[in-house]
Amino acid sequence: MEDHLHPLTGVSVLSLEHAVAAPFATRQLADLGARVIKVERPGTGDFARQYDESVAGLSSYFVWLNRSKESVAVDLKSDLGRAMLPRLVEHADVVVQNLGPGAADRLGLSAAAIRGRDPRKIVVSITGWGSDGPWADRKAYDLLVQCETGLVSLTGTGDDVAKVGVSVADIAAGMYAFSATLAALYRREVTGEGASIEVSLFEALAEWVGQPAHYTAGAGRQPGRFGAQHATIAPYGPYQASDGHTILFAIQNEPEWARFCDHVLAWPALATDPRFVSNSQRVAHRDELNAIVSAALAEHDSGHLESLLTAARVAYAGVNTVAEFLDHPVLSGRDRWREVDTENGPIRALLPPIDLGVEPVMGAVPAVGDHTAAVLAELGLDPADLPANLGS
């Protein structure tokens, strides 16, 4: 691969997408050089554009998920939409959709319909609960899926459950759709055959709760809820230093536990106390252990505590706010920030985490319908056919 060539240069993606899951998958394809044409509703566009106005008047969700894409605003039920959609499909290598139940079939965008005309096409459908089965017709939102997979029952404190603070079901589905598309593109290069891909939010997140699922099936009980403490490893959680700062550290094995007792607690005999001699015993006596550790660590300020943990070779982290994360020395020290254009001016955005030796595409976040006229002309449709408000 030449240094200037992005891995997916020449790949064309058509996406009928909204919200998070499909846009996350296609943005990552765009990061790697794919051309992504995003079909939106005239006027309002993807409804994620209206989630908030926190980024120079634009939605934080939308600017995160939609840079480097081309926005085509068209009513797919109109004469123009019906003429345009088959041509867009014809020119695409990959077709992605996360429309509501049954909508893709009504538009002729099922994998069977598209690949019946061209077996080389890669068709990606992101659903809530699967395209068949007892819940195929139910709507799915991220928090609903967090609840149904048991994730919410694992998160929070003993007094109350809590959701995960990001759209984890959507993100999981988007990641699997992205990786499956890459695999399908590779297979097509080898065999010439496309693929029909389906990823559901429920099944994506079900995979991510695999460890507590195995634990529950094996132990006959599910892990408890302990806030920011690990449910099945101790000590592993946040503790407050004398200056009020909170540090989270993690004991992963018995040598670390012995070093922690020696170097940090200055109590080496605690490592062999019968209550704490193994991880299972430490978890069983969590409250007693936390009382001892909290009292000892409260005698040190955060700087001294970090030096003790470093000397003991115990992993730790500051419990940052998001604002503190934005100023993280790793992000600045590794040059992770770039500038991305939007209709309201430039914003900062993080480089994607995949490093393939070439700078990822960090193109503009499109306004609704920014590319409608250009794409129509490219397809041989007269831009004069556009209603005056189509891209507004």
pLDDT in tens, 134-180: 999 999 999 999 999 999 999 999 899 999 999 999 999 999 999 99
| Secondary structure letter of residue 334 according to DSSP | T
Cα distance from N-terminal residue to C-terminal residue, the chain: 40
Active site residue 263: no
CB-facing half-sphere around the CA of 146: CA atoms within 13 A: 19
pLDDT in tens, 186-226: 999 999 999 999 999 999 999 999 999 999 999 999 998 98
The domain limits of the chain are 12-209+336-385, 236-318
Q: Which of 236, 285, 238 is nearest to 257 (CA)?
A: 236
What CA–CA distance (Å, rounded) separates 237 from 289?
Answer: 12
What CA–CA distance (Å, rounded) separates 370 from 380?
Answer: 18
Mean pLDDT taken over the chain: 94
- pLDDT at residue number 4: 66
Which of 3.40.50.450, 3.30.1540.10, 3.40.50.300, 3.10.520.10 is the CATH number of 236-318? 3.30.1540.10
CB-based contacts of 167, cutoff 8 Å, min separation 6: 20, 142
Residue 342: Cβ-neighbour burial (10 angstroms; 0-12, 13-18, 19+): buried
For β-strands 69-73 and 35-40, DSSP reports them as parallel
State mean pLDDT over 124-141.
Answer: 95
- pLDDT at residue number 390: 47
**Does 385 have pLDDT greater than 80?**
no
Q: How confident is the model at residue 382 (pLDDT cuts 50, 70, 90)?
A: confident
Distance (Å) of CA 14 to CA 80, 374, 387: 17, 15, 22
CATH architecture for the domain at 12-209+336-385? 3-Layer(aba) Sandwich (3.40)
State mean pLDDT over 19-23.
Answer: 97
Note the pTM of the prediction, 2 decimals.
0.91
pLDDT in tens, 276-308: 999 999 999 999 999 999 999 999 999 999 999
> What is the number of helices (H) and of strands (E) in the chain?
17, 11
Q: How many residues comprise the chain?
A: 392
| Annotated active-site residue in 4, 91, 214, 230 | 230
Q: Is the separation of the CB atoms in 66 and 340 below 8 Å?
A: no
Specify the residue for token string 């995949």.
Answer: 354
